[in-house]
Structure 1
């Protein structure tokens, strides 16, 4: 049986709200937390983007749940040595309950310092080299490194956890899944696709954890929930590599007319049908996932947690 966690959205909520949601998640019976790591939201309607490492510090004091970034890009906007220091500190503050979820990122967040946005195969190369650097730093040793993409000189982390921070890698295609299978401590993907789980396990991932997540919009008015999803998260229903290459929230806003309310109805669970919510999360369990995270879109946060505490989680974990 998978563990079920809550996915905190830094794009949609400020730091105090995120901490309060984490408290409600723990009280509702969720077993772990994911938290997104963005510089920008996807659109101005979402309206937030707090610095994830500060929020995790607050979470470490507010709840006892395991926490993972979903996901951090350690390649362009932030050097892997700096990400390693942040992750090691989080692991110490949470007494070992922190995992570092990594991915190749999006131009939306990573181009802000004027650096070029490389093609996907280069981003995967950079991610693999970044993982190598961070693993060495997590050991507490002094690290000097001159690689294809990064230079590190005489770097040592003095504040490190007893055990190295586990690193999970996000993948949405075969190349990223293969990288995760080779070098990661776990795999993250956002669709309940059994073939990707099988590729990870057969490619070297073995019994390492596979985690997935989905967004829903609980509410007693289904039509209102559909409109909320379309207003806040239309970007999730855009096709292809758009999410990786567009550079600013306004570009995503320009494409929102392409996403219809009917697309939202077909692509997201909206409303208060218990069976639909249970089925959406059970699909990940059926595909072989070990951890499943859910995010509530929109303002009905307390009602969502009450709904999941009383009606959804008992069916999933009973």
Structure 2
């Protein structure tokens, strides 16, 4: 049976707000947590970017819900050996209720150390090698790895969970989705695309879980909700590879000015209409997603959780 989780947005909320939302999510009946990993927000209107591993440590003491990173890039800004240590510690803190979601990243976050930004194919090769390094280190043995992209010398992780950390791989096109099916323990997406999920299943993911995240903007005033959604998350309407290639939040601000308000209205359930919020999630379930994670864009967090507790989650179940 599909599960409904809550999506903690590190781009929009500070660490204490995220912990508060996680507690509210558990009390409202959400079953799991997703948390994004960013160095920068997508745009200055979102305005936050706490360090995800610090927040995960606090989450382990604040809730009993499982946590997935959605997603961490283990290839540029943070070396895969360090990601392996961070993930192992997170899994210990969460008593095994942790999934490492990984992806090939965005220039927005990964260019900050002045690394070159290669083609999609190269980034996926780097991701595959990074996952190999992480899995090697999670065996608890001393590792020396001399690969195409990464060097690890005489490294051993001592603090490890009882079971290996599952690694789910994100994909938004056929090439990355095929890689996810071949090497991932699960699949991460933000698109309710049955065809892409089919590619994942046919590429080796037939018995593996599919996670997806989506955002709504709950508010008593539907027009105000749309204003918030368009101002803070208009970047979601950008086409093609812009999300992977634009380097700065202000570049996203410039680009999203070209996204029509009507486009946001079509993509995001804005207001307090229960049926609209249910329908947005149903699209993912109908596409074959096993775990849907929902984020509140608006500032009425209390109203969102009350409405989802009383009306939306019961309707979905």
Query: Structure 2-normalised TM-score?
Result: 0.99
Provide the rounded CA distance (Å) in 1 between the counterparts of 2:176 and 2:224.
37
Aligned to 2:291: 291
TM-fit CA distance, 1:316 = 1.0
Question: 1:121 is matched with which residue?
Answer: 121
Aligned-pair CA distance for 1:256: 2.5
Contact 2:28 2:308 in 1 (8 A): yes
In the alignment of these two chains, the number of paired residues is 317
Note the aligned Cα RMSD (angstroms).
Answer: 0.7
Summarize the alignment of residues 86-235 of structure 1 with structure 2, pairs less than 5 Å apart. 86-235=86-235
Question: Counterpart of 2:113 in 1: which secondary structure?
Answer: coil
What is the CA–CA distance in structure 2 between the aligned matches of 1:283 and 1:47, rounded to whole Å? 29
Q: Which runs of 5+ in 2 are unaligned?
A: none
Aligned to 1:248: 248
CA drift of 1:286 comes to: 1.1
1:311 alignment partner in structure 2: 311
Contact preservation (8 Å) 2:237, 2:256:
no
Paired with 2:110 and 2:132, the residues of 1 have a C-alpha distance of: 20
Name structure 1 gaps, 5 residues minimum: none
Partner of 1:35: 35
Deviation at 1:313, TM superposition (A): 0.2
Runs of 4+ in structure 1 over 6 Å off: none
For 1:89 and 1:260, how far apart are their aligned partners in 2?
Answer: 43
C-alpha distance in structure 1 between counterparts of 2:198 and 2:250, whole Å: 38
Question: Aligned partners of 1:204 and 1:262: how far apart in 2?
Answer: 38
2:275 is aligned with 1:275: yes
Q: Quick one: distance in 2 between partners of 1:54 and 1:102?
A: 17
SS at match of 2:68: strand
Question: Residues of 1 paired with 2:279 and 2:68: CA distance?
Answer: 24
Q: Are positions 1:7 and 2:11 aligned together? A: no
TM-superposition CA deviations, 1:20-65 (whole Å, max 9, x none): 0000000000000000000001111111100000000000000000
* 1:19 alignment counterpart: 19
With normalisation by structure 1, the TM-score equals 0.99
1:50-69 matched pairs, under 5 angstroms: 50-69=50-69
Query: 1:188 is paired with a residue of what secondary structure?
Result: strand
